[in-house]
Amino acid sequence: MKEIQVLIVEDDPMVQEINRRFISKIRDFRVAGIANNGAEALQMLQEFKPQLVLLDVFMAKMDGLSVLKEIRKIGANVDVILITADKTVDTIHEAIRYGVIDYIIKPFKFERFKEALLHYQKMREELENKDNFQQQDLDRILHVKSDAVEELPKGLNQTTLDLVVDYLKHNNKFHTSMELSQEVGIARVTARRYLEYLADKKVVQVELEYGSVGRPVHRYKFTEPV
């Protein structure tokens, strides 16, 4: 997949570095630029033309909500995730009204940050590769849950599950949990939990590879869509 260019808009150097470092850990994302305030962000939008903006709210010269409104006013072809300490209802409501795709409250952990970017990546990929959608496709993209949709077991989330399934679909051979963890960027024990869940749902087939000593190695291969 083509790299997703990200513009970080943040006035705190420490948070800038955290965002930059977190992005560097996620495959297919690259920092296009870092803006120290809202006015600078609007200039960099024209210069770098990123696909995604990580936007703070509390900034000098021009606050994040004003930047978001200006982005929509000029019709910039960019998506926005708010990363802010602002937890007020008014700000959240305004952000949703102006089309943010996610809202992360500071302080945040890498896992939440990564989930937001991976969901965005999955959404972009589906929107670019399909001409028409079924309702269940849109529900998955927009994180809408239906009563008819089975809840995932505790500790599993839909974004990572989609990532695992997508990798297995496009690399249709047998994989160990170790191989999957290295390719997808998750812990081996986490990879095994998702593979066991998919095996239970008959989405992957399982084969045992016996060596000369020790326990057999479980290998998994995609069979059909979830």
Pairing of strands 217-222, 204-209: antiparallel
CA–CA separation, 163 vs 158, rounded Å?
Answer: 9
Rounded mean pLDDT of 173-195?
Answer: 92
**Can you give the pLDDT at residue 147?**
45
Tokens of 224: 């059909």
Q: What is the pLDDT of residue 212?
A: 67
Assess contact for 55 and 98: CB atoms under 8 A. no
- Smallest Cα–Cα separation from 205: which of 216, 214, 195, 213? 195
* Residue the block writes with tokens 């849950």: 145
Mean pLDDT of 176-202: 92
Domains (ranges, CATH) in the chain?
4-127 (3.40.50.2300), 158-222 (1.10.10.10)
Tokens read off for 191 = 């990879």
The verdict on pTM exceeding 0.85 is no
Distance set, CA 154 to CA 132, 194, 211 (Å): 32, 11, 33
pLDDT, tens digit, 9 for 90 and up, residues 106-147 = 999 998 999 899 889 988 888 888 788 888 777 777 765 444
148 burial level (CB within 10 Å; 0-12, 13-18, 19+): exposed
- Kindly tell me if the per-residue pLDDT of 203 is higher than 80: yes
- Residue appearing with tokens 């992360």: 104
pLDDT value at 29 more than 70: yes
